[in-house]
Amino acid sequence: MIKSMTGYGKSMAEIPQKKITIEIKSLNSKQLDINTKLPWLYKEKEPEIRNMISQKLDRGKIDLNIYLDILDNEIIPVINKAVIKNYYNQLKEITRELEINIDDQLLPAIMRLPDALKTEKAELAEEEWLIVKEQINESIIILDLYRTEEGKSLEADLIRCIGKILTLLESIETFEGDRIIKIREKLTALLTENVGTENIDKNRYEQEIIFYLEKFDINEEKVRLRKHCEYFLEKIATLPPNGKILSFIAQEIGREINTIGSKANDASIQKLVVMMKDELEKIKEQTLNVL
């Protein structure tokens, strides 16, 4: 079986005064790339969150977002008495030096100065973190199921493409016999035209023609191509991650198809080679998204 690197998972939880939404998505990538967007309350848990993701997800660009909705006012601004007193004493001294009487306006002015109010930030309770942690795990599981389902579709497409390549490979045999005969006839005609039949050393000619025709022999390439396709299908059936090895096998399949094309010297076989290359391109695109 194979898994896709594309996936999406979402989970939600409500605790007293808070609503927590967790979203996680993944896209294809050569390695594991984790990005997180967390509320300030959960920043301290980022290393643990990254560890949770890396243990359960292989490869892919992973984006995890946690959204926190406060249902009640639990963050209350508090008057910073020490700062206000300090501001007041300094401003009082300045008003005396300038002989200005603005006692009534000092306090409203001070309250607008920086740090006059401070926010008492709540700490992350262990009970809350356990709930959030459970929901993160839940969203990862949902994403992984999504990857598995999409992997089934990818697997069907890849098997279909490999099947088409094998069918086209079998079709090559239809044209192989005529191909050799045509090449031999063409060479004989050229030699007769330029040298003359009476001047041809038949024994030497047969040796040379055999040597020449060996360069056009594609039996080894056909055997290797069939083996690579069978190995590809074998690796599809293994447990993920298997995307990288499928990409490597696809490269080997491409080499054999290209060699067959370069040796073919036959228009009908060239057409089949072009069709095989088309299927191979589909395979390469699909394997980029295989875990």
**Structural domains in the chain?**
7-73+123-148 (3.30.230), 77-119 (no CATH), 152-287 (no CATH)
Mean pLDDT of 260-283: 92
The token duo for 233 is 């299908």
Mean pLDDT of 205-215: 68
CA angle 206, 207, 209 (to 5 degrees): 65
Mean pLDDT of 91-113: 78
For position 200, what pLDDT does the model report? 65
- Residue 94 sits at φ, ψ, to 5 deg, of -65, -40
Residue 144 banded pLDDT, cuts 50, 70, 90: very high
| Interacting residues of 198 by C-beta distance below 8 A, sequence separation 6+ | none
Mean pLDDT of 63-78: 75
Q: Is the pLDDT of residue 104 over 90?
A: no
pTM value is 0.74
Q: Is the pLDDT of residue 49 over 90?
A: yes
The token duo for 23 is 């979203």
For position 105, what pLDDT does the model report? 75
Q: Which range among 71-85, 113-127, 180-194 has the greatest average pLDDT?
A: 113-127
Residue 162 banded pLDDT, cuts 50, 70, 90: very high
Residue 117 banded pLDDT, cuts 50, 70, 90: confident
**Within a 10 A sphere around the Cβ of 99, how many other Cβ atoms?**
6
Radius of gyration of the chain (CA): 37
Return the higher-pLDDT residue of 212 and 115: 115
Residue 76 banded pLDDT, cuts 50, 70, 90: low
CA 93 to chain centre: 66
- Mean of the per-residue pLDDT values for the chain? 86
Residue 91 banded pLDDT, cuts 50, 70, 90: confident
Report the alpha-carbon distance of residue 38 to residue 45 in Å, rounded: 9
Question: What is the length of the chain?
Answer: 291
- Range with the lowest mean pLDDT among 58-72, 74-88, 258-272? 74-88
From residue 155, how far is each of 61, 90, 246, 287, 289 by CA, in Å? 21, 75, 11, 10, 11
Half-sphere exposure in the Cβ direction for 125 (13 Å, CA): 7
For position 134, what pLDDT does the model report? 94
